[in-house]
Structure 1
C-alpha cells in the first residue's frame, strides 16, 4: 500500500501520457482518462501542465485556472463527481507540447516521490482542508492576469501542484509547504514583475 502511494504521482503521469492520441487532445479526454471522481489527480495534472513547458500553449494558464477553480468549488461543496462546462472540456491542447511537458515533469516528480509518506492526515479532513482550498480558489481568480508577467503563472501552478500532490498521497507536509509558498506568491510576482 505504501509503495502504491509513493508512486501515485508517476502513475498519474502514465495515465495522462496514455490518453494522448493524434495531433491534439481535449480537456475532456484528460478528464475521462483520469476519472471524474479523481479530483486530486485532475488538479495535479492540470496544474503540472501549466507549470511545465506545455504552458507555452496560448491561454493554457487561464484554462488551468478555470479548471482548478471549478474543481475546488465542487470539492468544498462535497461533490463526488466532477462537472465542467463544455467551453472548457472542448478546449484542445497540442499533443506534442503536452508530451514534452510530461517528459519534463517526470524528473521532479520522481525526486519528490522519494520523500512522500502519509503524515499529518488530519489536514485532509474538514474544516482543516477548507483553508488551503479557499486560498487556492482565490489564487485561480488572479492567475489569468499572471499571463502578462513571465513565470508568475507557472509559480502559482507549481504551488497548486504541490497541494494536489499532498492531497493525492495523504502527505500533510506537502499541504503545509504549499500553504507557506502560497503566502509568498504575491511577493514573488511583485519582484519578478515590477522589481529591479
Structure 2
C-alpha cells in the first residue's frame, strides 16, 4: 500500500506557484461533500517541503476554513511533523493515518479558494529568484526550525483573534519562497513569524 502511494506521489507534478497549488486542490473530485487530507496530499505531492508548507499556510490563512474549530491545531500538527522530519534529514515525509484521514467540507474549501484567487495571481506575479542564500540548504533548515516553533504556538493562537491567520501568512510565504527560490519573501516570512509569536506571547502572558 505504501509503495503504491509513493509511486502515485512520484507521478504528481509538483506545483510551482500559489495558483497551481490552488488549482490542484480544486481538481479533486469530492462526491461525498468532504475532502480528505490524504487526497490533497496526493494532488500536490508528498515529497516537496515548499508545497507542503504552502498547503498548511493556505488552509490556515483562509478565514472560512481556519474558523472551523480544530483546523489550526490540525495544520500545526501537520507542520510539526513535516518540519521535524526535514530537520532530521528524511527525504519522504510520513504522516499518521488518522491525520491523513481527516476531512474538511469541500464547499468551504472551494469558497476559500475562490476568495483567494485574485490575491494569489497578484502574489505569483511578484515572485522571482533572489537572495538565493535564504532558500539554500541552510536557509531551508532555518525555515523548518522557524515553522516548527510557529506550529507549537498555533494551538493557543485559536484563543486570540486573527493571530492564527498571521501564522497562515508566514507559512504561506515560507512555502512560496522555497518553491520560487525567492529569498526576499523568506525574509518577510521570518519577520511575520517573529511578529505573530510576539503578539501571542503578549496576549497570553
When normalised by structure 1's length, the TM-score is 0.89
**Which of 57, 62, 68 pairs up with 1:47?**
57
Unmatched segments (≥5 aa) in structure 2: 1-14
Secondary structure class of the residue paired with 1:129: helix
| Superposition deviation, residue 21 in structure 1 | 1.0
Partner of 1:149: 160
Partner of 1:183: 194
Secondary structure class of the residue paired with 1:93: strand
Using a 3 Å threshold, how does the CA distance of structure 1 residues 138 and 190 change in structure 2: closer, same or farther? closer
Which stretch has the larger CA shift, 125-134 or 59-68?
Answer: 125-134
Q: Where does 1:55-74 land on structure 2 (aligned, <5 Å)?
A: 55-74=66-85
Alignment of 1:96 with 2:130, yes or no, is no
Alignment of 1:34 with 2:44, yes or no, is yes
Unmatched segments (≥5 aa) in structure 1: 1-5
Contact 1:7–1:113 at 8 Å: present in 2 too?
Answer: no
* Counterpart-to-counterpart distance in 2, 1:62 and 1:94: 17
**Which of 179, 183, 190 pairs up with 1:172?**
183
**Which of 12, 25, 31 pairs up with 1:16?**
25
Size of the alignment, in residue pairs? 188
Using a 3 Å threshold, how does the CA distance of structure 1 residues 60 and 20 change in structure 2: closer, same or farther? farther
When normalised by structure 2's length, the TM-score is 0.85
